[in-house]
Amino acid sequence: MQRRKFISLGSLGLSAFTFSSFKSPKAIRKPIVISTWDAGIEANKAAWKILNNGGPALDAVEQGVMVTESSQNCCVGLGANPDRDGFVTLDASIMDHQFNCGSVAFLERIKHPISVARRVMEKTPHVMLVGEGAQQFAVAEGFPLESEQLSDDAKRAYENWLKKSEYKPVINIERTKGNHSFAPSKLESGEWNHDTIGMVALDAHGNLSGSCTTSGQGFKMRGRVGDSPIIGAGLFVDNEVGAATATGQGEDVIRISGSHLVVEFMRQGLHPEAACKKAVERIIKAKGIEKSKEIQVGFIAINKQGEYGGYCIQKGFNFAVCYADDQNFLEDGKFIL
């Protein structure tokens, strides 16, 4: 009798222990969309409309960044700074939840490179088209060829740059009047010194997608391509795990296959913020602290649970997060140096 009582209590005790130590699965926050820099707020709004109606993450990330590509207030797209020969050249990439991806690089006179990247993904057997070939494809797909003329701001900046013609990559920080804490007062407010938007989203069906579009760095060498159109560097999505995108000094993102690395860190169980941090640390390790002080790189990521995070080398990077009609806000990226 005593023994039987002991056994039944024991088994009860065991099951009580097992129950209390079992972590309930994390609540899944979806849909959700995040994107780089201040301009992400407006881009998120367009993406959110789609996500909130049950639409696919792929449509959301395309239409979201199209807002920024058309914006006169941001240096992404045809209004941006030109290369050192005076031409605006654009890079973009897109990736869905099934490892389908498409990109364009060194593309001129096309307003929406992100949509051309999507057509490359959906209508060709290839992943990437560049330069003249990318433009030819875009025109054949019905994209209008825009004027070569620089925007007024870009023209002014280019004329200014020509005085010295000195190429020095700038440290990307947010310079706008945003209500976050990183608008250094010594810099003119209302100015941008970055040229990219990266966006990743998780839709109501639990699928992830991402997009990234940029004019690259102003006054770059003609033909220079950054990380943004390189799948695995500027953007990566693995629907089992998460999605990540990058901004900043593209060469250093490419060197470590940055966005792929962030996703792989999430696969190992790291929270998106911790995964972004580890990728930033990898860059600093590769480059050394002193040289890293001269550049900026920021990563943002979401995982399958809709958890999100961002991290950067130095103060001044921010990103926009949206997961409800009244929840679309900027977060300052934590930084290492």
In the bound complex, what is the minimum distance in angstroms from residue 318's beta carbon to ligand SD4? 12
Q: What is d(CA 313, CA 58) in angstroms, rounded to the nearest whole number?
A: 29
Among the residue ranges 23-31, 110-118, 221-229, 324-332, the one whose residues contact ligand SD4 (CB under 6 A): 221-229
Residue 228 binding ligand SD4, by CB under 6 A: yes
Residue 207 binding ligand SD4, by CB under 6 A: no
Residue 318 binding ligand SD4, by CB under 6 A: no
Q: Tell me the number of residues near ligand SD4 by CB under 6 A.
A: 13
Side-chain half-sphere exposure of 31, counting CA atoms within 13 A: 30
Among the residue ranges 10-18, 27-35, 245-253, 257-265, the one whose residues contact ligand SD4 (CB under 6 A): 245-253
Among the residue ranges 27-35, 203-211, 214-222, 319-327, the one whose residues contact ligand SD4 (CB under 6 A): 214-222
Q: What is the largest CA-CA distance in the chain?
A: 97
Q: What is d(CA 225, CA 103) in angstroms, rounded to the nearest whole number?
A: 12
Nearest to 221 by CA among 169, 149, 172: 169
Annotated catalytic residue: which of 196, 213, 245, 247?
Answer: 196
Q: Which residues pair with 329 in a beta bridge?
A: 321
Q: What is d(CA 319, CA 30) in angstroms, rounded to the nearest whole number?
A: 18
**Which residue number, 39 or 46, has a Cβ lying nearer to ligand SD4?**
39
Among the residue ranges 51-59, 128-136, 140-148, 224-232, the one whose residues contact ligand SD4 (CB under 6 A): 224-232
- CB neighbourhood size of 122 (10 A): 12
Residue 210 binding ligand SD4, by CB under 6 A: no
CB 4 within 8 A of CB 290: no
**Which residue number, 50 or 157, has a Cβ lying nearer to ligand SD4?**
157
Residue 248 binding ligand SD4, by CB under 6 A: yes
Residue 82 binding ligand SD4, by CB under 6 A: no
**Which residue number, 218 or 306, has a Cβ lying nearer to ligand SD4?**
218
In the bound complex, what is the minimum distance in angstroms from residue 51's beta carbon to ligand SD4? 24
Residue 214 binding ligand SD4, by CB under 6 A: yes
Helices (H), the chain: 2-21, 40-52, 57-70, 113-123, 131-140, 152-164, 250-255, 258-267, 272-287, 289-292
Residue 216 binding ligand SD4, by CB under 6 A: yes
CB 333 within 8 A of CB 50: no
**With b meaning 16 or more CB within 10 Å and e meaning fewer, what string describes 169-195?**
bebbbbbbebebebbeeeeeeeebbbb
Q: What is d(CA 183, CA 189) in angstroms, rounded to the nearest whole number?
A: 7
Here's the x/- map for ligand SD4, 180-199, by CB under 6 A: it reads as --------------xxx---
Annotation says 18 is catalytic: no
**Which residue number, 79 or 226, has a Cβ lying nearer to ligand SD4?**
226
Instruction: Report the amino acid identity of residue 234.
Output: G
Which residues have a catalytic role annotated? 196
Binding site for ligand SD4 (CB under 6 A): 172, 194-196, 214, 216-217, 226-228, 247-248, 250
